[in-house]
Amino acid sequence: MTVKTYRFIGLLGDGRENFSDKELDKEQPTEPVVIDAFGFSDVYRYSGYVFLNEEWYKKYDKNAHASTSIIDGLLVNLVKYAVKESNSENLGKVKAYLQSPPETVEEAIETWKSFYDPGLKRY
């Protein structure tokens, strides 16, 4: 008998109801990353992240074209609270961005857009 280990995959940019991907569904339970006045809810459980659309960052900062500070803070917290042994490809992309941030807001936005994977096969 095999025991299924469920992974919490944080979904950013849309609600779960707007998303369907059979391969990722096998990783249930997945849930949206909830960010409220108290910060992040249960982020420490996430072993990976899926960005549900190319402009996912607009959900979290309507003025992202003016400054990267809000999204950068969000990404720092995602990395900080992620499951330590996670080898998520998207988490690796976020870490690389934070270690070597672009010089302009426009370059940062292009990097943020690159976190979205239309195939939604990587977490």
Model pTM?
0.78
Give the angle subtended at the CA of 47 by the CAs of 46 and 50, to the nearest 5°: 80
Query: How is the chain split into domains, by residue range?
Result: 8-114
DSSP state of 33: P
Provide the H-helix boundaries in 17-117. Answer: 22-25, 69-81, 89-99, 105-114
Q: What is the pLDDT of residues 1-47, one digit of tens each?
A: 555 455 677 778 776 666 666 666 666 556 666 665 556 666 667 77
What is the distance between the alpha carbons of residues 44 and 79, in angstroms, rounded to a whole number? Answer: 9
Q: Looking at residues 110-117, what average pLDDT do you find?
A: 92
pLDDT of residue 23: 66
What is the distance between the alpha carbons of residues 49 and 46, in angstroms, rounded to a whole number? Answer: 7
What is the distance between the alpha carbons of residues 75 and 104, in angstroms, rounded to a whole number? Answer: 17
Q: Could you give the percent of the chain with pLDDT greater than 90?
A: 35
pLDDT of residue 83: 81
What is the distance between the alpha carbons of residues 46 and 81, in angstroms, rounded to a whole number? Answer: 8
pLDDT of residue 31: 60
What is the distance between the alpha carbons of residues 79 and 95, in angstroms, rounded to a whole number? Answer: 7
Burial profile 68-82: b = 16 or more Cβ within 10 angstroms, e = fewer: beebbebbeebbebb
pLDDT of residue 6: 54
